[in-house]
A and B are shown apart, each in its own frame.
Chain A
């Protein structure tokens, strides 16, 4: 008798439970559909897409979008936003090149040490930025959007002030050859790096307490705190990890470009938010999975490549990116409207 009442409650509340459509959408139905359509359409319209060299190129671009997109995802699932991700990439690119320039001057012949030192210093800068962002957001409960917008301005200012907008050359050659252009098992090193980061994110999200706490803080900060989650520390972890990933992106981009540039990363905030949102990361926090963000980043990379192949003006590519972002969100909103309470 008593067990019947309980099960009855469940059966009587079908509207509370996810419908099949909801499930499909939540488990990445949109992304997978988008990706398949984009790949097939591109391959049909432009067979050169399947060319090995082109695919390698797609992979490299994908890798360099995936890493900062995962950074964005971490912050967004924790209920924030990171508009400073592009600025961190630019700043750490400058830092990487500067360290190499200086390091190679003082310690000629110690290339490997300099390459590693520049990575460590770049990562340190990224982590510091994340710490400051998180500190301001959690200690003063400021809007993450405003904080990272201001941080973006600060970082861009610093990067531009030190370089005056001029690229820093003098990046170690072997760094460019082995990291930027290097391959392992036929795939670019940067792709391996990105896949490593992706795997780490997946494990972190699913199998660690930190991952769970990030979701909890993003979903409902008050409840998380009352449940004993150290919300401040969780936010710091999320923003610092994001900073580290953005810094890694800056480092790897430097290896591809062969110089430190203060002007890269301009549209990265948009691109990473687009990848995260298309990958199903909720703008309200608490929802988002790394593997789907990866699919979304791949989708965006394929589209960008397709536009390059059919020689669309690069300026129109931002237009398409903006449109794709808005359309994806509109579709999500319209399909899931009923779920919103």
Chain B
């Protein structure tokens, strides 16, 4: 009794206390504070055009962060996410070029992307959930295999000759004067939000993350759920890869180098609790926004790109420490 009691947190009131509200609002407040701080140094940060820019940049990262969240929720990791983006970018581009580079070839590109990402996700999921290999090492190994494919099939060079409409529609296009990538990220957010809230799959992800053994004992088929989580993660990464490819207008073997880290950082900053089955896509989106605001600000005040990398690492550690407090039992 007493040992258990020790592991339980302080009793909470069933209503929201001011502390809970403050805790929930922590990240939005941080985002505003960072914006204002950069705005003091460089007024352009606070312009409407830059806000639009931030939203646009954040929408790409948000998709990757949401992808990573799917597996983080289950106590997993996907270190192969970044290189999956590279491979999908290259392979989808090659498919489009091979199919003539017309508008219709976009469909083949999407098909190739889905196929490749699906295969990577399936392989990850089967190795992790089916055979039971540590997710970290599995996806680390997978990352290097995927990287090898990405760099060899492209010969290391960008794939050019993509359909013009790809960039025109999916990168520069807009609807109701809101850029297409933002719409797509918002759509993904809504869909995943519903998946987590209103499907058995979503509920199972949380339960597995909170306690895998309890999930098994409660009759949840954990293997298919986990496999699906990794497949979903890879497919979302592929979607993001297509959007990034549309933005650059070519298939880039180096597209995803830093994305794994950024996606994990965004999710963790947002508060997706590693190994605790807490958090959600909302957290991932906020985290992505925070990371983007920070890097956008650093770009505008002309901080070296390498220093930004240092900041990213520091932010991960700081947010781990900050989020730890409320997780403490």
Asked if chains A and B are in direct contact (CB within 8 A), the reply is yes
Q: Which residues of A contact B (CB under 8 A)?
A: 81, 136, 140-143, 145-147, 149-158, 160-161, 164, 267, 269-270, 273-274, 277, 283, 313, 315-319, 321-323, 325-326, 329-330, 333-334, 337, 340
When chains A and B are docked, how far (Å) is the Cα of A273 from the Cα of B131? 19
Given contacts A161-B306, A316-B148, contact A326 B141 (CB under 8 A): yes
**A residues less than 8 Å from B136 (CB atoms):** 81, 145, 283
| Contacting pair B137 A283 (CB below 8 A) | yes
| Contacting pair A322 B142 (CB below 8 A) | yes
When chains A and B are docked, how far (Å) is the Cα of A330 from the Cα of B138? 10
- Looking at B171-179, B217-225, B309-317, the stretch in contact with chain A turns out to be B309-317
B213-271: which have CB < 8 Å to A? 261, 264, 268
Which of the residues A146, A153, A158, A267 comes within 8 Å of B144, measured between beta carbons? A267
| Contacting pair B306 A318 (CB below 8 A) | no
When chains A and B are docked, how far (Å) is the Cα of A340 from the Cα of B137? 18
B136-154: CB near A (< 8 Å → 1, else 0) gives 1110111111011101100
Q: Which residue of A lies closest to B325 (CB)?
A: A140
| Contacting pair A315 B321 (CB below 8 A) | no
| Contacting pair B147 A318 (CB below 8 A) | yes
Which of the residues B141, B148, B307 comes within 8 Å of A161, measured between beta carbons? B307
The residue in B147, B311, B313 that gathers the most chain A C-beta atoms within 10 A of its C-beta is: B313
Q: Which residue of A lies closest to B132 (CB)?
A: A333
**B residues less than 8 Å from A316 (CB atoms):** 148, 152
Q: Which residues of B contact A (CB under 8 A)?
A: 77, 127, 131-134, 136-138, 140-145, 147-149, 151-152, 261, 264, 268, 274-275, 304, 306-314, 316-317, 320-321, 324
**B residues less than 8 Å from A321 (CB atoms):** 141, 144
30 of the cross-chain contacts (CB-CB < 8 Å) are A136-B317, A140-B320, A140-B321, A140-B324, A142-B321, A146-B264, A146-B316, A150-B320, A151-B313, A151-B317, A154-B309, A157-B308, A157-B312, A160-B306, A274-B141, A313-B152, A315-B147, A316-B152, A318-B144, A318-B145, A319-B145, A322-B140, A325-B137, A325-B140, A325-B141, A326-B137, A329-B134, A329-B138, A330-B127, A340-B132
- Rounded to whole Å, the gap between the CB of B80 and the closest CB of chain A is 9
**A residues less than 8 Å from B321 (CB atoms):** 136, 140, 142
Given contacts A153-B313, A330-B131, contact A322 B152 (CB under 8 A): no
| Contacting pair B324 A141 (CB below 8 A) | yes
| Contacting pair A315 B313 (CB below 8 A) | no
When chains A and B are docked, how far (Å) is the Cα of A155 from the Cα of B310? 7
When chains A and B are docked, how far (Å) is the Cα of A151 from the Cα of B312? 10
| Contacting pair A150 B133 (CB below 8 A) | no
Q: Which residue of A lies closest to B258 (CB)?
A: A153
**B residues less than 8 Å from A273 (CB atoms):** 137, 140
Q: Which residue of B lies closest to A160 (CB)?
A: B306
| Contacting pair A157 B310 (CB below 8 A) | yes
| Contacting pair A157 B307 (CB below 8 A) | yes
When chains A and B are docked, how far (Å) is the Cα of A151 from the Cα of B309? 10
- Rounded to whole Å, the gap between the CB of B216 and the closest CB of chain A is 14
When chains A and B are docked, how far (Å) is the Cα of A17 from the Cα of B268? 42
When chains A and B are docked, how far (Å) is the Cα of A140 from the Cα of B127? 31
**B residues less than 8 Å from A140 (CB atoms):** 320-321, 324
Q: Which residue of B lies closest to A151 (CB)?
A: B313
**A residues less than 8 Å from B275 (CB atoms):** 143
| Contacting pair B309 A153 (CB below 8 A) | yes
List the 3 shortest-distance A-B pairs measured between CB atoms, nearest first. Answer: A153-B313, A157-B309, A319-B148
| Contacting pair B313 A150 (CB below 8 A) | yes
When chains A and B are docked, how far (Å) is the Cα of A154 from the Cα of B311? 7
When chains A and B are docked, how far (Å) is the Cα of A161 from the Cα of B308? 10
**A residues less than 8 Å from B307 (CB atoms):** 157, 161
**B residues less than 8 Å from A160 (CB atoms):** 306, 309
**B residues less than 8 Å from A147 (CB atoms):** 317, 320
When chains A and B are docked, how far (Å) is the Cα of A321 from the Cα of B137? 12
The residue in B148, B307, B316 that gathers the most chain A C-beta atoms within 10 A of its C-beta is: B148
When chains A and B are docked, how far (Å) is the Cα of A221 from the Cα of B65? 32
The residue in A147, A283, A313, A322 that gathers the most chain B C-beta atoms within 10 A of its C-beta is: A322
- Rounded to whole Å, the gap between the CB of B212 and the closest CB of chain A is 13
- Rounded to whole Å, the gap between the CB of A26 and the closest CB of chain B is 18
When chains A and B are docked, how far (Å) is the Cα of A143 from the Cα of B319? 12
| Contacting pair A150 B145 (CB below 8 A) | no
Q: Which residue of A lies closest to B310 (CB)?
A: A157
- Rounded to whole Å, the gap between the CB of A235 and the closest CB of chain B is 16
- Rounded to whole Å, the gap between the CB of B88 and the closest CB of chain A is 17
- Rounded to whole Å, the gap between the CB of B181 and the closest CB of chain A is 25
- Rounded to whole Å, the gap between the CB of A225 and the closest CB of chain B is 15
